[in-house]
Chains A and B, each alone.
Chain A
């Protein structure tokens, strides 16, 4: 038990031994002097007295050494010696050292990058205090969707007021604002927060305050802004507090500035997953009454410390049951049912990236293993050449433990240097890789090189050191037992040792095959994805999103006037062919689904409601986005308010309701058969359009003219059936010439009608398609890089083992050749040795890949996990690489000159 005091004394003595040494020497001198004097007093002569004194004292040096051990930290000295020795021996073989460090640094660097992703997404997705107690509250409404959906305003209010399982329950919904006042106006993403939200997240503003429940309820025009907006809009001026900004042309007072790095909603798949401004939710009267409309409000809650998710869920569901039984509007009562769904928020946030991150973790784990195997192999080869050196040292009295420790120090040194290099690599590249991150993986873009990552790197260094150091250390000692010193030099290939190395190469080839198959499957998926039709012609068209602020466009008439003027203005441009406005753009992920009835279609008994996507269009929107007509016609200007209601369906709808028949002329309507909405006649059928992503199936969709829909519905039904988000519309323009001219025209047209209005996401449709494939491209590239590195390492591994065995067997080969074997036979022997190793590895790898591939099914598109061509190609590539890697040593073997080989003995 060392006290602190002794530790410091020892440490001080270790660092500054000089004074204690001098003191000790002087003390011992004095001691021996006293002894000598004593003996002389007893009558011994000078010489005898000196001798007797020395005998009584004992060995001066031993005494000093033992005192030093007690006084200082001698084991530190030993470590220092071992380190110095390891350093020297690594420096003596720079080639080995460089290859080993590069290999491990690659493995560690890649692992670190991927770990930082995992840290940002799976381990620590919620940057809030006690994030594990945060849950999302959603509803499952079978009538509306199979998927959980968000809450309606009245439901949210009920949960907020009645739930008891939570320390706080709040809600938010994304919205966009036109930001103006003092600067050129811009389009900003914002969020409406109930006052509770800040309590739920447990965040405080860096300056000022957040809004109160009173302000929320009374609709106070106050807002809290992000640090980013504060910098950008106010130049980080502290006097921003209390100033006003115009949001959709209404002045709001800035009351708080959030700390740097605060973000909510957290980055996610869509653009709406970002906010620079937080305003009070301040539900409108309409919102408060819409019990069955606008499932637009995200419920978020912080559970009380002793409450489980199951308890919280039971609590909220009790309220949901009460709503269903007592509070639904009369027309829906008995028809509609729903339940609440409480899930850990972390799971919901990280869900979309989980499969990818797990794949990457697996892949990078393989890569690191391969790197370790390779370095182990190199160390084993190196150990073999040092066998005699070790044997001699053991013979001279070095302990076996000492030798193993030295080997371990070598691997530790290698691992630490590699970890530093790999850490630097990660430090440089995490930012770069994050920047390449497609929007769907925005959560991963938060990855930072922080303390957790640093600790991870340090841990990896230790693990790697043990991983690569154990086998060589074991091999070295086991060989010593066979008394290698008796052997004459070329012993290195002692059998268990050679077998170990071969085994490692087999493992390495197997792991590479697994990675290669993974990369191959993703590449095939990506190719299929590029070849898959989005269902529309993206070339030659641009689209943008626009939101008409409610203040300036309070009613449908004014909105329609705006779009009509825009349409006419753009149409007047010479290069424009088609212009239109629609409520959903393919691949934008935005869609509205409603229940739907086809006249002469009898649903099978017990069928769910038929739900299809509803897209309202005006102008020549379908032509503008390049939807391809299968039969029938597009909408015309005649399909207006006064004329017979019409609809255009996608192939999916036609196939679902009228398989094998033409849909043209069929009657359809929104809502159940007995709904008071008018029947519409199908006048056209278009190709299936991918709404969410290229790799997601196309959802069935029905297009209707916006004007007709509005005209034929009573306000009550409009509230239910017209998409709530209709204020945000997509404008599409198709024309001749290049798309940048179309874009310029569109921007200018909007500006001329409403100079303040902001256009967002203005880009060619081809770019919309490309960005939909971006996540798949990202997956493929990352896996591709990993597998190429793995192949390279496997090649080095095979080459190393084969080349080494050729070098060891030079004499044997010489004898064979002297006895008449020809060069070709020798080369074939070596080559087949390499290929045999590879084949065993491939066998293992194929089994491993076949077991693992199904795990990445969710990341694949159009390819089955056990895709035979992919497996075959991976096997062929690895065989080829093994052949090349063994060919070089085979040629060397064939060139062995028997005479030289025998003489070298």
Chain B
């Protein structure tokens, strides 16, 4: 439980979808485990949530038509469901990224601005 010592980076509601889309867009099709590993690498500590928490996000994205899952073999010849980003997903990623940047910029500005 060493991770509890470090400040936890809570994944904001809604940003998980963006992160997953981004990961799929840059890395190509991934299975849930692969995505979880990737998240841990990025955040530099084990996922603050359990790996099982990816599943609601995955099914949400799939129902929106932004990603698509298909069963394939892993390199070690195990079966796994690989998710790939769709065209609609790419468009959504672009839009969501833009939105996120604007929001982040705004928050940043609010936090750094010194009121006079």
Question: Measuring CB to CB, which residues of chain A are less than 8 angstroms from any residue of chain B?
Answer: 3, 5-6, 9-10, 23-24, 26-28, 30-31, 33-35, 37, 56-60, 62-64, 66-67, 69-71
Q: Is the CB of A63 within 8 A of B53?
A: yes
A57 CB → nearest B CB, Å:
5
Q: A5-B64, A66-B55, A67-B56 are in contact. Are A37 and B76 (CB under 8 A)?
A: yes
List the A residue with the shortest CB-CB distance to B52: A63
Chain A residue numbers with a CB within 8 Å of B78 are: 30, 33-34, 37
Number of interface residues of B (CB under 8 A): 24
Rank and list the top 4 A-B pairs by shortest CB-CB distance, nearest first: A58-B50, A63-B52, A70-B56, A67-B55
Q: Is the CB of A69 within 8 A of B56?
A: yes
- A–B Cβ pairs within 8 angstroms, 30 of them: A5-B63, A5-B64, A9-B63, A24-B55, A27-B80, A27-B81, A30-B31, A30-B33, A30-B79, A31-B51, A31-B80, A34-B78, A35-B51, A37-B76, A37-B78, A56-B50, A57-B52, A58-B50, A58-B51, A59-B50, A63-B52, A63-B55, A64-B55, A66-B52, A67-B58, A67-B59, A69-B56, A70-B55, A71-B56, A71-B59
Q: Is the CB of B55 within 8 A of A34?
A: no
In Å, the complex CA distance between A63 and B50 comes to 9
B32 at the A interface (CB under 8 A): yes
Q: Is the CB of A66 within 8 A of B63?
A: no
In Å, the complex CA distance between A24 and B69 comes to 12
Chain A residue numbers with a CB within 8 Å of B81 are: 23, 26-27, 30
Q: Is the CB of A34 within 8 A of B31?
A: yes
Q: A5-B64, A27-B81, A34-B33 are in contact. Are A58 and B52 (CB under 8 A)?
A: yes
List the B residue with the shortest CB-CB distance to A8: B63
Residue with the highest number of chain A CB atoms closer than 10 Å, among B55, B57, B65: B55
B43 at the A interface (CB under 8 A): no
B41 at the A interface (CB under 8 A): no
Question: Measuring CB to CB, which residues of chain B are less than 8 angstroms from any residue of chain A?
Answer: 31-33, 46, 49-53, 55-60, 63-65, 74, 76, 78-81
B87 CB → nearest A CB, Å:
14
In Å, the complex CA distance between A493 and B78 comes to 67
Q: Is the CB of A57 within 8 A of B63?
A: no
Q: A70-B59, A71-B59 are in contact. Are A34 and B74 (CB under 8 A)?
A: yes
Q: Is the CB of A28 within 8 A of B55?
A: yes
In Å, the complex CA distance between A66 and B57 comes to 10
Given contacts A58-B50, A70-B57, A71-B59, 6 further A-B contacts (CB under 8 A): A3-B64, A30-B81, A31-B32, A31-B80, A34-B80, A69-B56
Chain A residue numbers with a CB within 8 Å of B76 are: 37
In Å, the complex CA distance between A57 and B63 comes to 23
Q: Is the CB of A59 within 8 A of B51?
A: no
B64 CB → nearest A CB, Å:
6
A370 CB → nearest B CB, Å:
50
Q: Is the CB of A56 within 8 A of B59?
A: no
In Å, the complex CA distance between A30 and B79 comes to 7
Q: Of B55, B59, B65, which is within 8 A of A5 by CB?
A: B65
In Å, the complex CA distance between A785 and B78 comes to 78
Q: Is the CB of B53 within 8 A of A66?
A: yes
Chain B residue numbers with a CB within 8 Å of A60 are: 52
A25 CB → nearest B CB, Å:
11
Chain B residue numbers with a CB within 8 Å of A64 are: 55
In Å, the complex CA distance between A66 and B56 comes to 6
Q: A30-B31, A34-B80, A69-B56 are in contact. Are A10 and B50 (CB under 8 A)?
A: no
B68 CB → nearest A CB, Å:
13
A489 CB → nearest B CB, Å:
46
In Å, the complex CA distance between A641 and B63 comes to 99
Chain A residue numbers with a CB within 8 Å of B64 are: 3, 5-6
Chain A residue numbers with a CB within 8 Å of B52 are: 28, 57-60, 62-63, 66
B99 CB → nearest A CB, Å:
14
Chain A residue numbers with a CB within 8 Å of B50 are: 56-59, 63
B20 CB → nearest A CB, Å:
13
In Å, the complex CA distance between A57 and B64 comes to 25
Chain B residue numbers with a CB within 8 Å of A28 are: 52, 55
Chain B residue numbers with a CB within 8 Å of A24 are: 55
In Å, the complex CA distance between A6 and B60 comes to 8
List the A residue with the shortest CB-CB distance to B37: A38
List the A residue with the shortest CB-CB distance to B58: A67
Q: Is the CB of A35 within 8 A of B33?
A: yes
B35 CB → nearest A CB, Å:
10
In Å, the complex CA distance between A27 and B65 comes to 19
B65 CB → nearest A CB, Å:
6
B30 CB → nearest A CB, Å:
12
Chain B residue numbers with a CB within 8 Å of A3 are: 64
In Å, the complex CA distance between A317 and B46 comes to 89
List the B residue with the shortest CB-CB distance to A59: B52
In Å, the complex CA distance between A405 and B55 comes to 30
B85 CB → nearest A CB, Å:
17
B58 CB → nearest A CB, Å:
8
Chain A residue numbers with a CB within 8 Å of B60 are: 70
Q: Is the CB of B63 within 8 A of A71?
A: yes
In Å, the complex CA distance between A857 and B47 comes to 80
Chain A residue numbers with a CB within 8 Å of B74 are: 34
B48 CB → nearest A CB, Å:
11
In Å, the complex CA distance between A254 and B77 comes to 87
Residue with the highest number of chain A CB atoms closer than 10 Å, among B52, B60, B65: B52
List the B residue with the shortest CB-CB distance to A71: B59
Chain B residue numbers with a CB within 8 Å of A57 are: 50-52
Q: Is the CB of B51 within 8 A of A10?
A: no
Q: Is the CB of A56 within 8 A of B51?
A: yes
In Å, the complex CA distance between A58 and B36 comes to 12
In Å, the complex CA distance between A34 and B51 comes to 12
A757 CB → nearest B CB, Å:
80
In Å, the complex CA distance between A9 and B65 comes to 10
List the A residue with the shortest CB-CB distance to B47: A56
List the A residue with the shortest CB-CB distance to B61: A70
A599 CB → nearest B CB, Å:
98
In Å, the complex CA distance between A836 and B77 comes to 86
In Å, the complex CA distance between A30 and B80 comes to 6
Chain A residue numbers with a CB within 8 Å of B59 are: 67, 70-71
Residue with the highest number of chain B CB atoms closer than 10 Å, among A26, A58, A70: A70
Q: Is the CB of B63 within 8 A of A6?
A: yes
List the B residue with the shortest CB-CB distance to A9: B63
List the A residue with the shortest CB-CB distance to B34: A34
In Å, the complex CA distance between A5 and B58 comes to 16
In Å, the complex CA distance between A31 and B79 comes to 9
In Å, the complex CA distance between A37 and B32 comes to 15
A862 CB → nearest B CB, Å:
74
In Å, the complex CA distance between A5 and B63 comes to 7
In Å, the complex CA distance between A10 and B33 comes to 25
A17 CB → nearest B CB, Å:
12
Chain A residue numbers with a CB within 8 Å of B65 are: 5
Chain B residue numbers with a CB within 8 Å of A71 are: 56, 59, 63
